[in-house]
Amino acid sequence: MEVIICTTAEEVADVAASKVARVCRDAGSEVVIGVATGSSPIALYERLASRVADGRLDLSHASAFALDEYVGLPAGHPESYAEIIRRHVTEPLRMDPSRVHTPNGFADDIEQAALDYEQAIVDAGGVDVQILGVGSNGHIGFNEPTSSLASRTRIKTLTEATRHDNARFFDSIDQVPHHCLTQGLGTIRAAREVVLVAQGAHKADAVAALVEGPVTSRWPGSVLQLHQHATIVVDPSAASKLELLEYYQLTYAQKPAWQRFDAR
C-alpha cells in the first residue's frame, strides 16, 4: 500500500488524477475504470476531464463500472448513481455511454442484477483501475461494517450513519433509500489497481483503520491492505490520525524518479 499525504485537497485531486491517467495510458485505449460517486472523487474527475479536453487523455473507447446504486429510487432520479455518473464521469470524460455501467438498482430481480453486474465486469476483462472514496464509518463501495471481505455484488442495507452522511444530497433524510446494490469487497479487490482519495477530518478514523488497523470487516476499507497495488491519497486532515505519518511523507519525498507518475 502506498500512502501519499498531500498538502491540500487540490493536490489530492492532482496526484490521484495523475496516477489514474498513468494507468489509463499503460492499459491502452480500452482501459476499464472503476468509478465511485460521492464528493471525494469529484475534483479528480475534473482533472481527468481537463486532460480529455486538451487531448492528453482519450477515453472514447474506455469502459467504466460504478461501484454502487441505490435501491428504491425511481430510474432517472437526479441522485441515482446512474445520473451522477452521467454528470460527473460519462459526459465530462467524453466516454461512450454504452460502455459506462452502474449496477441496476431499479431491476425487479435484484439478485439477478447483481449476478449480471459481476458478469459484465468479467466480460469487460476486469477493472484496470478502481477509484474509491471511503465512508466515515470505513465503508468502501457501500460495503458497510461487517461486510464479508470476500463479498461480491449484492444488495446491502445502509447504516443510519451512511444515510445521515448522504442526506445532504436529498431534501430530507426520509428520502435516502435504506438499500443499495454494491460491488463487494471481493469485487473491489479484484481490480488491478486501486486509487482511494479522502479529504477532511471526518475521514481520519476511517483512513487510520484502513491503513494501519487490523484487516477486519469492522472497518471494510482495511481489506485494501491485502491488495497488491493500492494507492491512498489523502489531505492532512484525513491523514491526521495516522501513526506512521512521517514515514509516509518521507517515502513519498524519497520516491525514486522512475517510480514517479507524471503530475501533468
Strand partners, 154: 182
144 assigned to active site: yes
Q: Does 135 bind ligand F6R (CB under 6 A)?
A: yes
Type of residue found at 200:
G
Q: Which three cell numbers stand for residue 154?
A: 449484492
Binding positions for ligand F6R, 59-98, rule CB under 6 A:
67-68
3-class secondary-structure state, position 53:
helix
SS3 70: strand
Q: Indicate whether 141 belongs to the interface with ligand F6R (CB under 6 A).
A: yes
Phi, psi of 94 (to 5 degrees): 50, 50
Q: Spot the catalytic one: 14, 69, 118, 144.
A: 144
Greatest Cα pair distance in the chain? 53
38 in contact with ligand F6R (CB under 6 A): yes
Residue 205 is a catalytic residue: no
Instruction: Report the C-alpha gap between 143 and 146 in whole angstroms.
Output: 8
Per CB under 6 A, the segment of 37-45, 122-130, 144-152, 238-246 that binds ligand F6R is 37-45
The residue behind cell 446491502 is 156
104 is catalytic: no
Q: Which DSSP string corresponds to 116-177?
A: HHHHHHHHTT--SEEEE---TTS-BTTB-TT--TT--SEEEEPPHHHHHHHGGGSSSGGGS-
* Of 23, 105, 108, 31, the residue nearest 71 (C-alpha): 105
Binding part of the chain for ligand F6R, among 12-20, 133-141, 209-217, 227-235 by CB under 6 A, reads 133-141
Q: Which is nearer to ligand F6R, 99 or 156 (CB)?
A: 156
Select 67 or 176, whichever has its Cβ closest to ligand F6R: 67
Compute how many residues bind ligand F6R; rule: CB under 6 A. 14
Q: Three-state DSSP class for 209?
A: helix
Q: Of the listed 104, 137, 143, 166, which one is catalytic?
A: 137
Smaller CB separation from ligand F6R, 135 or 177: 135
**Which of 39, 50, 112, 146: binder of ligand F6R (CB under 6 A)?**
39
- Does the annotation count 166 as an active-site position? no
| 151 lies in the site for ligand F6R, by CB under 6 A | no
The answer to the question of residue 48 lying near ligand F6R (CB under 6 A) is no
Binding residues vs ligand F6R (CB under 6 A): 36-40, 67-68, 133-135, 139-142
- Enumerate the active-site residues: 68, 137, 139, 144
